[in-house]
Amino acid sequence: MTKYDGLDPRTELEQVITEDLKRALEKRGYQVQHNGTMTQSAPANKPDIVLFDDNTHITVEVTQTTKASADREYLSIKDHLEKAKNDHPSKKCHVWYVSPETHYRMINAIRECNIANKDKIDLKIMPLCFSTFELFLNKLIQTTKDEYPKDQIMSLFSEYLQFVDDERVFKVLYEKLFFQDENLKKEIQTLEDNKHQKTVEDLISGLTKLEQDLRDYRIALSGDAIRNVIFLVFTKLYEEKREYDGEPNRFTKGGFLEFQRLNEQKKKKRAIHLLFDQIKEDPELKDAKLFSDSDKLKERMNDDFVIKYFIEPFSKYHFYTTKVDGLGAAYEVLGKLSGKDVKVGQFFTPENIVKFTVKLAELETTDTVLDPACGTARFLTYAMEDMLSKVSGSNIETQKKRIRTTQLLGTDDDSNVATLAKMNMYIHGDGKTNIHDLDGLLLYNLDNKIDVILTNPPLGELTYMKDTYDEDFRLRRMETIPKRNKTEESLQESRKKLADFRVKLETAKKTGKKVAFYQRKITEYTNKIAECQVLIDRDEPKFETTGNQMKGGSLFINAAKHYLKNVRNESALPEWKGGKLLIVIDEGILNTVDYKDVRQFIRKTFYEKAVISLTKDTFVPVSNTSTKTSILYAIKKEDPDAIQQEPVFFAHVEKVGIDTKKKVCPNHLFNSGNDVLTKYREFKSKVLAAYDGVHFNKTRFLESVSPKGEIHD
């Protein structure tokens, strides 16, 4: 609730806002004029309030109208802006549109107006909801004229492409003016997170309905329906990105009807097919092989269906410049409809887990990063953002290009999902050429080439008896797969038989019966023992796989051994030289009897750096099922015989920023000041400080730490 909400729009609202504008802006050199009276609002043929100086003229339009009823405000706003420019041609003319909340149709109309004027230095409209406007004016009122000067305030209008919803406008104010306010930063994060959770729920519901509509109208059936949903979502994202780059958006209602007209499709209703085909011809997308020749919208889909069932209902969402993950929502719908085990996290990794894991990895700009079970590539997109933010020195653009095009690798064995991942990487700025529809356990060409693996493989059981997994894979490459040592079993069995026949031979000698038979058996088993012993001496015993399934994490940990470099950083301390593995795994791998051999494999192959146990509710917001998981951070050993000297950082995280009802809650992972990431970094610094040369001094380390640390609300 703001101070403006309860005011009478006819006699109070404009008057109070005028006084606030005067206090905020007159000391900065603007004149503020209300076009009404002390007791009456401004007449309809005039703007409500104007503020101006020698170079600037800002029209302030104020209303308490909300939702769809605000549509009628747009034409008068536009008329007042055009008249202001005609009356003041030498000035930069803009508008602040102030309302309780900005309806998405008004936002879209404002965006279209702003983009139509993209080549002009002015004529931009900035929507401001009451809460943001009040905060904005209060900040200006409470500071001197030297803080937040005119040019800084005017720079807000240059961010018109970011005006996609009230939350984003609020963030623009923070980023352009109030970036030093840490409390405001946290408030924005909370607002974004709450809005994001609700929006994604609504979006998933809408996309599920769209998939059903495609089937109900016999446009597409089964898997084709969800593929068409994915294609439409990508078309929207592609056009939003195109709009952001300064080109017309052909997938708004107005933009699409214009595209339809220009391509003479008003009667044929095939503009959607022409648009999708044009997008497929984008050279970048063709180079990435994002689409195949068979990727087409269904023939029965026409423009009327697309406008009614996609463009209009989904115009309330803007994917490209917000946190709304349109492809992620399509991904979840895909998972539900394809019968995949979404409930054990096969599809979504909660965003805060992804962010935390990337931060924990401490990526360098030269790292080659792999996610062998990439889903929609969220680990890779966050890794890319993190690495790009660290680029410095000379040849910055060359470094950034290399990161985008060569240093981010991902695979997924579901072709639909791999397509989504490529789309996501493209939308986030390239990298898509290195996403492949492949089984992440069979990337033999990446052996000893990867610096960092970031992944959340399927948490459920995976089979290792697929036709594509040959004997060499099961018996030799994958050490964690349970096996029987047939040679050892045969040796033990043969020894037992030999002993039995020797006893029987002694009895037979007394009776004179079956002596020759028992002598043959003794010779047979003596030879078998010798054969087994030869194989054992040569270290060539024969094995046989047992069972057929195990937890996915255990298989991907084994694969990581092969992909990661033995030495990632030659100058690092011994236990920090190798490639890094950061993996979300089922906690049963770390604490059940069935997986004790896997734990032995981990200790033999890796130096364990951290184990972050996550609350069982971590995956509830994305899967509606409790799944006990941990994040394992380990570094590959150069020498498997070396014993780890450093201690392991252990933490349990009870709150991860989103609760089971998809509401924002405390985040014990990062950004709270007293969080797990901070504690880990403190722990690591003490570990490194405890070294004498290359020798870890355990006594020194123990003297530097307290027994334990706890995080509370």
Residue 425 pLDDT exceeds 70:
yes
The pair of three-digit structure tokens given for residue 292, joined into one six-digit string: 């195949």
Residue 412 pLDDT exceeds 80:
yes
Residue 52 pLDDT exceeds 90:
yes
Torsion on CA atoms 81, 85, 91, 94, rounded to nearest 10: 10
Confidence of residue 223 (pLDDT cuts 50, 70, 90): confident
pLDDT, tens digit (0-9, with 9 covering 90-100), for 174-191: 999 998 888 888 777 777
According to the model, what pLDDT value does residue 346 have? Answer: 45
Helix (H) or strand (E) holding 519: helix 515-537
Highest mean pLDDT among 330-344, 411-425, 547-561, 616-630: 547-561
Distance of CA 661 to the CA centre of its chain: 20
The pair of three-digit structure tokens given for residue 704, joined into one six-digit string: 């530097």
Tell which phi-psi region holds residue 500, choosing left (phi > 0), alpha (psi between -120 and 50) or beta: alpha
* Closest to 620 in 3D by CA, of 350, 377, 430: 350
Residue 73 pLDDT exceeds 90:
no
According to the model, what pLDDT value does residue 205 have? Answer: 87
CA distance 199 to 3: 27
Q: How many CA atoms lie within 13 A of 399 on its CB side?
A: 14
Mean pLDDT score, 408-413: 94
Please provide the size of the chain in residues.
713
Helix (H) or strand (E) holding 666: strand 664-667
According to the model, what pLDDT value does residue 402 have? Answer: 93
- Identify the three-state secondary structure at position 623: helix
Residue 151 pLDDT exceeds 90:
yes
Angle of helix 73-87 relative to helix 104-116, nearest 10 degrees, comes to: 30
Confidence of residue 712 (pLDDT cuts 50, 70, 90): very low
Domain 13-180 listed as CATH 3.40.91.50: yes
Residue 617 pLDDT exceeds 80:
yes
- Per the CB < 8 A criterion, the answer to whether 372 and 344 are in contact is no
According to the model, what pLDDT value does residue 324 have? Answer: 63
Residue 150 pLDDT exceeds 60:
yes
- Per the CB < 8 A criterion, the answer to whether 374 and 567 are in contact is no
According to the model, what pLDDT value does residue 222 have? Answer: 73
Q: Which residues contact 308 (CB under 8 A, 6 or more apart)?
A: none
pLDDT, tens digit (0-9, with 9 covering 90-100), for 122-137: 999 999 999 999 999 9
Percentage of the chain beyond pLDDT 70 is 94
- Per the CB < 8 A criterion, the answer to whether 436 and 411 are in contact is yes
According to the model, what pLDDT value does residue 71 have? Answer: 78
Task: Please provide the average confidence, as pLDDT, over all residues in the chain.
Answer: 90
Q: How many CA atoms lie within 13 A of 161 on its CB side?
A: 15
pLDDT, tens digit (0-9, with 9 covering 90-100), for 80-123: 999 999 999 999 999 999 999 999 899 999 998 999 899 999 99
CA distance 409 to 598: 26
pLDDT, tens digit (0-9, with 9 covering 90-100), for 464-483: 999 999 999 999 999 999 99
**Which pairs count as long-range contacts for 685-689, CB under 8 Å and 24+ apart, including other chains?**
687/646, 687/647, 688/573
Confidence of residue 662 (pLDDT cuts 50, 70, 90): confident
Percentage of the chain beyond pLDDT 90 is 64
Confidence of residue 160 (pLDDT cuts 50, 70, 90): very high
Confidence of residue 702 (pLDDT cuts 50, 70, 90): very high
According to the model, what pLDDT value does residue 622 have? Answer: 67
- Per the CB < 8 A criterion, the answer to whether 658 and 670 are in contact is no
421/686: higher pLDDT? 686
CA distance 666 to 664: 7
Residue 345 pLDDT exceeds 60:
no
Confidence of residue 69 (pLDDT cuts 50, 70, 90): confident
Mean pLDDT score, 370-385: 92
Neighbours of 4 (CB within 10 A): 22
